[in-house]
Amino acid sequence: MLTSLHVEGDSLFHRLTTRVKLAILLIASILAFLTQSPVLLGLGLLVAGAFYFTLGLTVREGLRRLRPVLVTIALLAAVNLIVQPPLDVLVAVLRILALVLLAATVTATTTISAFMEEITRLLLPVERLGLVRAADVALALGLVLRFVPDIFNRYSEIREAHLARGLKPKWKTLVGPLIILTLKDADAIATAIDARGLRRGKRG
Domain edges within the chain: 12-110, 115-195
Q: 46-88: per-residue pLDDT in tens?
A: 999 999 988 888 888 888 888 878 888 898 899 899 889 999 9
Backbone angles phi, psi at 86, to 5 degrees: -55, -35
pTM summary value: 0.69
159, 151 Cβ separation under 8 angstroms: no
The pLDDT of residue 203 is above 60 = no
